[in-house]
Amino acid sequence: MITESDLHQISLAAIFSFLGLVIFVLGFYTLDKLTPGNLWHEIIEEHNVALAVVVGACALGISLIIAAALLG
């Protein structure tokens, strides 16, 4: 049986998840604008594996920072 406290916790989790995703997208967009050239063109069409690794590492870094900020 779901109580009112459970619904409150679920709604907070949904809000924080949405907020985290929005911040992640903004951070990734900023990363894309700060780097020279077009990231997706380099990764998809030119098969630049090194750039893909760097972008993946940045995505993980942004995610960890957001998670730490949201958890307090």
- Nearest-angstrom CA–CA distance, 17 and 34: 26
Top-confidence residue, 53 or 70: 53
- Nearest-angstrom CA–CA distance, 8 and 17: 14
Residue 66 · residue 25 · CB < 8 Å: no
Nearest residue to 51 (alpha-carbon basis) of 66, 67, 32, 30: 32
pLDDT digits (tens, 9 = 90+) for 5-37: 999 999 998 998 899 899 999 988 998 899 888
Mean pLDDT over residues 43-59, rounded? 93
5 burial via Cβ count (<10 Å: 0-12, 13-18, 19+): exposed
